[in-house]
Amino acid sequence: MSLNANIPQGPLAEKWSKHKFNLKLVNPANKRKYNVIVVGTGLAGASAAASLAELGYNVTAFCFQDSPRRAHSIAAQGGINAAKNYQNDGDSVYRLFYDTIKGGDYRAREANVHRLAEVSVNIIDQCVAQGVPFAREYGGLLDNRSFGGSQVSRTFYARGQTGQQLLLGAYSALNRQINLGKVKVYTRHEMLDVVMVDGHAKGIVTRNLITGDIDTHAGHAVLLCTGGYGNVFYLSTNAIGSNVTAAWRAHKRGAYFANPCYTQIHPTCIPVTGDHQSKLTLMSESLRNDGRVWAPKTVETAEKLRKKEITAAQVKEEDRDYFLERKYPSFGNLVPRDVASRNAKEMSDEGRGVGTSGLAVYLDFADAISRMGEDTVRAKYGNLFDMYYQITDENPYKQPMRIYPAVHYTMGGLWVDYNLSTNVKGLYALGECNFSDHGANRLGASALMQGLSDGYFVIPYTLGDYLATIGPKPVDKNHPAFAQTKQDVIDNVNKMLALKGTKTVVEYHRELGHIMWEYCGMARTEEGLTKAKAMIKELKADFWKNALVVGENEEFNLSLERAGRVADFIELGELMVTDALMRRESCGGHFRLESQTEEGEALRDDEHYAFVAAWEFKGENQEEELHKEELVFENVKLTQRSYK
């Protein structure tokens, strides 16, 4: 069965304009008769909630944190791309479109990506109008920097805290609407299910994380803006609370999950120190603008470094291998993330890794410091250097940073059409929660762009079309589906509370993470994935027998919260492995060892795999069914990506 993505007809650059004209409108007086549910208050959720409320809709928003300002978008460091061409360096909407399609290894939809590039310019205008303090030049104009996978400077930034500033901008827009009475926010609430009425999403079930109250909420549409699922790997750069539960429960109610195996491993993270590690910290990709990545040329030198017999500074220039500059002279240290990550792993696999674990390479600023001076480096990257120092107790101004890849972003997510609608009517997915714009690999500084594009500039148009179609009749909360779905959630909670085995849910989570990282991480094989699938099935069975959950529902209960999230991660993990097994090609973040070029780069198989894999849930412990959305490329020529 093939899926209809509802991509508008016509030339690429005119699709969005024409589509906006063709979409139905809800008249201003009727907008106040609709209630829209927004789950998650990160960039996508906060911007959508605020923009829809500004239009006149009533919005109910939910987040599991204690304030909408804390969603994990806040942690994005480096910047946000926009095709402003303020630098006069040859940028354009088409170039941003092209870079994004190519960076995604030709596994994204042309129409979506072009729209993203088009609205990118509006995002910057919007954020500046809100008072977002982007970096500026001395003349008072906005400053830009460059990011991986691009040869122009189109990244806008606010020191190393761009995500924070953009989120606080969206949060301020949200606050304004709360103040005006158009948005009601429920904090410390977790969405645990979607209520389906006659094939349409009409509400959600939530658990109040403090009191344990399980409630239903009705709406004419439900927008999931719940972020990515990187924590399936246990260790990732995601926040501890980031989870797949909302998306996964929606999946189990019929929403297809697309390209789950596309995960991004970020090359520049602080290496793991031990089993106690609860999360990994990213060092912004922007550091690769001035930092040089290297490993020792020989295993012997690496050995001495690992044993701390010598320091990095003592390694002579001729004994260093600046491997990215050597292998990719035109992009150098700024190759896309998947390429940089695989190369770092290769160094460690060859025994040339550094640090006590040998799982690290250097990111060296010595040249930058001698070229620009320590003060300039501090002004550009100070907060990142400080963070590194806090965590490692090593001064990066004096010795090179040690970095290693870590799970950072998930390109896969709920399948959506051009309107950001899942295949379930009335259920939408925005931001990292959907699969739509990054293909098999996301370029740096594009996540913030997509989250805000979806929330500020896409959903306010596309949602109206659906709402106009269904009409403003109030949603009836007395429909039995509400009571039934709530009962399902209560039953599930009770099932978890009854688990009185011996292993904590954190232990299961860690174990799942090991399986995923080992077999479904940076390099994947038929054999490994097959093994992983069996291991996850076993883990799942064991979880429902031997897990230990303490406490009761009617209280703030961290053990119960985590249990629900881990149970969903285990099921998702199995689907990721299934997807990775099915896709017998390499593309972007999905690297199958069986499919590589002679030079060790990802080798696509466009003839057989130029499609989006959308998986349908078929029942507990059943194999999911694959639906394909063929990707049609009318504007770009599919080529082997080269950054040499």
Partner 1 sequence: MSQGNMNLTLKVWRQKNTQTAGKFVTYKAEGISPDMSFLEMLDVVNESLIKKQEDPIHFDHDSREGICGMCSLYINGRPHGPKRAITTCQLHMRSFSDGETITIEPWRSAAFPIVKDLATDRSAFDRIQQAGGFISVNTGGVPDANSTLIPKVIADEAFNSATCIGCGACVAACKNASAMLFTSAKITQLGLLPQGQPERWSRVQAMVNQMDEEGFGNCTNTGACEAVCPKEITLMNISRMNNDFFSAELFREEHTHDGGGNG
- Which listed residue (5, 46, 158, 403) binds partner 1 by CB under 8 A? 158
Task: Work out whether strand 547-548 and strand 503-504 pair parallel, antiparallel, or are unpaired.
Answer: parallel
DSSP 397-434: TTSPEEEEEEEEEE--EE---TTSB-SSBTEEE-GGGB
Q: Closest CB to partner 1 among 53 and 305?
A: 53
Residue of 35, 60, 65, 264 that binds partner 1 (CB under 8 A): 65
Q: What do you get for the CA distance between the two ends of the chain, in Å?
A: 39
Site for partner 1 in 573-632 (CB under 8 A): none
Q: Residue from 19, 31, 72, 115 that binds partner 1 (CB under 8 A)? A: 72
Question: To the nearest whole angstrom, how small is the minimum distance from the Cβ of residue 631 to partner 1?
Answer: 30
* 47 forms part of the interface with partner 1 (CB under 8 A): yes
**One of 2, 22, 210, 526 touching partner 1 (CB under 8 A):** 210
CA dist., res. 590 & res. 265, Å (int):
10
- 8-state DSSP, 463: H
- Whole-number Å distance between alpha carbons of 562 and 559: 5
**Closest separation between CB of residue 208 and partner 1, Å?**
11
Q: Is 69 in the site for partner 1 (CB under 8 A)?
A: yes
Of the listed pieces 170-178, 474-482, 573-581, 632-640, which binds partner 1 according to CB under 8 A?
Answer: 170-178
Select from 3, 13, 23, 135 the one that contacts partner 1 (CB under 8 A).
135
User: How far are the Cα atoms of 303, 304, 326, 330, 339 from residue 321, in angstroms, in the given order?
Assistant: 15, 16, 8, 17, 16
Q: Using the minimum distance from each CB to partner 1, give the nearer residue, 22 or 211.
A: 211
Count of residues interacting with partner 1 (CB under 8 A): 83
109 is known as an active-site residue: no
Strand 58-62: give its sheet, edge to edge. 183-186, 58-62, 35-39, 221-224, 427-429
Question: Within 258-277, which residues bind partner 1 (CB under 8 A)?
Answer: 273-277
- Binds partner 1 by CB under 8 A, chosen from 26, 37, 44, 173: 173
Over the window 333 to 372, marking each residue x when it contacts partner 1 by CB under 8 A and - when it does not, the resulting string is ----------------------------------------
User: Is 394 a residue that touches partner 1 (CB under 8 A)?
Assistant: no
Q: Which one from 145, 159, 337, 524 is the annotated catalytic residue?
A: 337
Give the strand order in the sheet containing 257-258. Answer: 413-414, 257-258, 611-616, 625-630
Binding mask 279-308 for partner 1 (x = CB under 8 A): x-xx--------------------------
Give the other-Cβ count within 10 Å of 131's Cβ.
Answer: 10
Candidates 30, 87, 92, 122; binder of partner 1 (CB under 8 A) is 122
d(CA 443, CA 157): 15
- Minimum distance, C-beta of residue 333 to partner 1, in the bound complex (Å): 23
- Between the alpha carbon of residue 641 and those of residues 100, 105, 326, 356, 545, the distances in Å are 12, 7, 17, 35, 47
What radius of gyration do the chain's Cα atoms show? 24
Per DSSP, the three-state class of 477 is coil
**Secondary structure letter of residue 631 according to DSSP:** -
- The minimum distance between CB 483 and partner 1, in angstroms, equals 28
Question: What three-state secondary structure class fits 462?
Answer: helix
Whether the CB-CB separation of 8 and 111 falls below 8 Å is answered with: yes
- Site for partner 1 contains 229 (CB under 8 A): no
Contact 7, 111 (CB under 8 A): yes
In the complex, minimum distance from the CB of residue 74 to partner 1, in angstroms, rounded to a whole number: 5
Tell me the two tokens of residue 314.
């003592």
Q: Tell me the C-alpha distance between 101 and 103, whole Å.
A: 6
Query: Which of these ranges, 133-141, 466-474, 531-539, 582-590, lies near partner 1 under the rule CB under 8 A?
Result: 133-141
Packing angle between helix 505-519 and helix 526-546, nearest 10 degrees? 170
CB of 270 to partner 1, least distance (A): 10
Verify binding: residue 161, partner 1, rule CB under 8 A: yes
List 4, 28, 88, 138, residue binding partner 1 (CB under 8 A): 138
Based on CB atoms, which residue is closest to partner 1, 91 or 629? 91
Nearer to partner 1, 106 or 456 (CB): 456
Read off the amino acid at residue 460: P
Site for partner 1 contains 442 (CB under 8 A)? no
* 126 is an interface residue for partner 1 by CB under 8 A: yes
**Ramachandran angles phi, psi of 298, nearest 5°:** -120, 155
Using DSSP's 3-state secondary structure scheme, residue 539 falls into helix
Determine if 480 is a binding residue for partner 1 (CB under 8 A): no
- Of 278-286, 413-421, 582-590, 632-640, the segment contacting partner 1 by CB under 8 A is 278-286
Region 88-107 residues binding partner 1, contact defined as CB under 8 A: none
User: Could you give the string, one character per residue 532-551, with x where binding to partner 1 holds by CB under 8 A and - elsewhere?
Assistant: ----------------x-xx
Task: List residues with catalytic annotation.
Answer: 337
